[in-house]
Amino acid sequence: MCGIVGGVSKRNVLPILLEGLKRLEYRGYDSAGVAFRNNKKVSLVKTQGRVADLESQLDGSLKSLQGIAHTRWATHGVPSTKNAHPQDSGNSIFVVHNGIIENHENLRKKLTKEGFKFKSDTDTEVISHLVNLYKTKGYDFDSAVMRTIAELKGAYALGIIDLDNPDLVIGAREHSPLVVGEGIEENFIASDVMALSQVTNKFKFLQDGQIALIGSDKIQIMSKNGTAKKIPTQEIDSNSFTNDLAGYSHFMEKEIFEQPKALQDALQGRVTSEGTQEGIFGAGFEDQVKDVTNIQIVACGTSFHAGRIFEFWSHKFLGVNCRVDYGSEYQYQEPIKTDKTLLVTISQSGETADTLSSLKFAKKTGKPVTLTICNVANSSMCRESDFSLLTNAGPEIGVASTKAFVTQLACLNLLLLTMMQLKKQPKKAIQNISSSLLQLPKKINKTFDMLKVYKDVAKLLFNKNSALFLGRGMYFPIAREGALKLKEISYIHAEAYPAGELKHGPLALIDKDMPVLALVPDNEHLDKIQSNIQEVAARKGRVITIGPLGKTKIGKNGGHIKIPKTLDLHNPIISVVPMQLISYYTALLKGTDVDKPRNLAKSVTVE
Ligand code: G6P
């Protein structure tokens, strides 16, 4: 989704801004732009395309001490040069914006009456004109920004510069992340720490409603009403923010192969073969959750599928009611009020707008204990929650989530074990699950022995228009995750169904051109799912099965992939890896942009 980087320095900031934009590319975008001080004026360069196109339009000898830059993921107005940011007003006020201004139509009317002419279809342009309006009325730049912000409804992270203020960038945030990066004789703003990790490891994380005035020698933070605010500077290990492919062709490929190590990092120091360590979710967590009677999970996309698997674990091993809602839907359901609810938000980024607003909504409408399982320390969700557990997957750059998912499941398993311990469940059961969990990195590594098999399956899929994924019980969310991976990166329509629902509709779709991927567990569902597979085969459907039994064999009409066997509750985690790789190799055959699939964004910061 959109990305912001801006700064003022005593040295040339243009290469820093461009590098920042490159580091933000992984979020997904369709156009890019930069506004920078160029002697006595501010120059604006924008492109509907990649950051590399933007760079090629800039004269390499240009030097600038102040600028703001942006990658845009279209919301209001099609992807185009005119709609790309920065948006300017009268060549004097320049604005980059992440988020959506909900009252932009009213503001547009008001500004049109004031004589402003709109050049774009964006909601953002009202911001540059409003600041300009207040400046022409005699307000200083910072006061004009504050008056503007008072009129905005919606979500925003902003970076603003003014022709009359060469040593100032103003940043502001409301429901969309923005950080301040501290340097020596230079300071920056960005929507993501990663954008600035090449220049600093010192960050201030702005809170909603805060404004930052950034000069090369100053950082001043204020609330919306102008009260000075102090926020601590945090040192972040910038080495962990690498965007190096390390010899792989794509980040998604690299991240799939990083999964054993990511899992180890997620488990390290948190669990032994006897169970989980106390305090891993934060001091006092055990005390707060020991008597919860209800677990509510909220998440989006891949993270939602992780939540759906925990739902099965919770019912089976804890006997605690667990419900999972999409972040975008949670607020429309009347939340079930129970005495003691644990609200778990699951998110790779910790910034997904729908999940974040659900968390805020839940806190406003009830008194849940809140826990975030997240890959990004200091993210909005971590800060908004009572407790958090980092997945420790390392930065995930590929838009299609892979290692974040398996580490989310590992962390949810730690939650399960912790709650089993609190409920004084038999030691043996806790030891079994803990030992099996610790074996997972090794078992996932084994799935990499069959790359040729996944490539053969990809050959069966890449020229098809649709595919069906089947699973039962806790394998159904995995089927959904498999279908999501395939559609995200190969653009093949893929649907997942609980296998028992096959005969209630999808069976009508089955023919030789509709490949079916079925998850076949070694549990009480085995016979039933085999019957479902027969139903497909009898209609000339091509079936590829994945499971811990049988032998691996793929022919031109389908076949079977044997995965390493483990405890039934952990098999879903292993079975997702072949599906990730099958999707990846299918996308390669189709020649799609694997890491930046069309229309998608890594971090969705608008509702
Ligand atoms: C986007 C990403 C998905 C991700 C989802 C939720 O759609 O492309 O990969 O699963 O957002 O993101 P989160 O950061 O909250 O896990």
List the one residue out of 474, 561, 558 whose CA is nearest residue 516.
558
Q: In whole angstroms, give the CA distance from residue 120 to residue 50.
A: 20
Ligand 1 centroid–CA 404 distance in Å is: 10
List the one residue out of 393, 462, 400 whose CA is nearest residue 250.
400
**CATH number of the domain that residue 342 is part of:** 3.40.50.10490
Per-residue pLDDT, averaged over 406-427, amounts to 97
Query: Among 215, 240, 265, which residue terminates a domain?
Result: 240
Looking at the DSSP bridge assignments, the partners of residue 544 are 517, 559
Could you tell me if residue 436 is inside a domain? Answer: no
Angle (deg, nearest 10), helices 427-447 and 403-422:
170
Ligand 1 centroid–CA 605 distance in Å is: 10
Q: In whole angstroms, give the CA distance from residue 125 to residue 363.
A: 33
170 and 55 within one domain: yes
For residue 239, the model assigns a pLDDT of: 57
Which residues form the domain of 261? Answer: 244-425
Percentage of the chain exceeding pLDDT 70 = 98
Active-site annotation holder among 204, 254, 485, 602: 602
Could you tell me if residue 440 is inside a domain? Answer: no
Per-residue pLDDT, averaged over 357-368, amounts to 91
For residue 272, the model assigns a pLDDT of: 95
C-alpha angle 494/497/499, rounded to 5°? Answer: 130
294 and 198 within one domain: no
For residue 35, the model assigns a pLDDT of: 98
The pLDDT confidence band at residue 336, using thresholds 50, 70 and 90, is low
The pLDDT confidence band at residue 244, using thresholds 50, 70 and 90, is confident
Helices (H), 397-426: 403-422
For residue 506, the model assigns a pLDDT of: 82
Classify 355 as helix, strand or coil.
helix
Mutate to test the pocket of ligand 1, among 252, 298, 302 (most ligand atoms within 8 A of CB): 302
List all residues whose CB is within 6 A of at least one atom of ligand 1.
300-303, 347-349, 352, 355, 399-401, 600, 602-604
Whose C-alpha lies nearest to ligand 1, atom 3? Answer: 301
Query: Among 390, 425, 460, which residue terminates a domain?
Result: 425
The pLDDT confidence band at residue 242, using thresholds 50, 70 and 90, is low
226 and 258 within one domain: no
142 and 263 within one domain: no
Could you tell me if residue 8 is inside a domain? Answer: yes
346 and 219 within one domain: no
Radius of gyration of the chain (CA): 25
List the one residue out of 461, 475, 484 whose CA is nearest residue 580.
484
List the one residue out of 483, 491, 549 whose CA is nearest residue 516.
483
CB 526 within 8 A of CB 532: no
The pLDDT confidence band at residue 541, using thresholds 50, 70 and 90, is confident
Q: How many helices (H) and strands (E) does the chain have?
A: 17, 28
Ligand 1 centroid–CA 73 distance in Å is: 15
Query: Among 240, 259, 276, which residue terminates a domain?
Result: 240
Whose C-alpha lies nearest to ligand 1, atom 8? Answer: 602
Residue-wise pLDDT for 25-50, tens only, equals 877 788 999 999 998 899 999 999 89
417 and 468 within one domain: no
Q: Has residue 73 got a pLDDT over 90?
A: no
502 and 538 within one domain: yes
The pLDDT confidence band at residue 225, using thresholds 50, 70 and 90, is confident
Mutate to test the pocket of ligand 1, among 375, 580, 600, 602 (most ligand atoms within 8 A of CB): 602
Q: How many domains does the chain contain in total?
A: 3
Whose C-alpha lies nearest to ligand 1, atom 2? Answer: 602
414 and 560 within one domain: no
The pLDDT confidence band at residue 240, using thresholds 50, 70 and 90, is low
CB 474 within 8 A of CB 586: no
361 and 304 within one domain: yes
What DSSP letter does each residue of 385-398 carry, written as one string? SSEEEE-------S
Could you tell me if residue 604 is inside a domain? Answer: no
What DSSP letter does each residue of 483-506 carry, written as one string? HHHHHHHH--EEEEEEGGGGGGTG
Q: In whole angstroms, give the CA distance from residue 35 to residue 96.
A: 9
Whose C-alpha lies nearest to ligand 1, atom 5? Answer: 301
Q: Relative to the CA of 327, which ligand 1 atom is closest?
A: 15
Q: How many CB atoms lie within 10 A of CB 464?
A: 17
Q: In whole angstroms, give the CA distance from residue 11 to residue 16.
A: 10
Sign for the pseudo-dihedral over CA of 156, 159, 162, 163 = negative
- Choose between 528 and 272: higher pLDDT: 272
For residue 21, the model assigns a pLDDT of: 96
Residue-wise pLDDT for 484-495, tens only, equals 999 999 999 999
218 and 91 within one domain: yes
Could you tell me if residue 588 is inside a domain? Answer: yes
578 and 497 within one domain: yes
Q: Relative to the CA of 401, which ligand 1 atom is closest?
A: 9
Could you tell me if residue 433 is inside a domain? Answer: no
Ligand 1 centroid–CA 420 distance in Å is: 29
Residue-wise pLDDT for 250-270, tens only, equals 999 999 999 999 999 999 999
Could you tell me if residue 434 is inside a domain? Answer: no
Could you tell me if residue 443 is inside a domain? Answer: no
202 and 291 within one domain: no
CB 262 within 8 A of CB 406: yes
Pairing of strands 294-299, 341-347: parallel
The token pair that represents 190 in the structure block: 């960005």
How many angstroms separate the Cα of 351 from the Cα of each of 95, 178, 227, 373, 603?
A: 22, 11, 26, 12, 7
Ligand 1 centroid–CA 59 distance in Å is: 36
For residue 123, the model assigns a pLDDT of: 94
Let me know how long the chain is. Answer: 607
Is 322 noted as a catalytic residue in this protein?
no
Ligand 1 centroid–CA 403 distance in Å is: 12
For residue 535, the model assigns a pLDDT of: 84
Q: In whole angstroms, give the CA distance from residue 553 to residue 314.
A: 35
Pairing of strands 202-205, 218-223: unpaired
Active-site annotation holder among 2, 322, 382, 411: 2
Q: Has residue 185 got a pLDDT over 60?
A: yes
Q: Has residue 127 got a pLDDT over 60?
A: yes
Average pLDDT of the chain to the nearest whole number = 93
Q: Relative to the CA of 399, which ligand 1 atom is closest?
A: 8
Is 2 noted as a catalytic residue in this protein?
yes
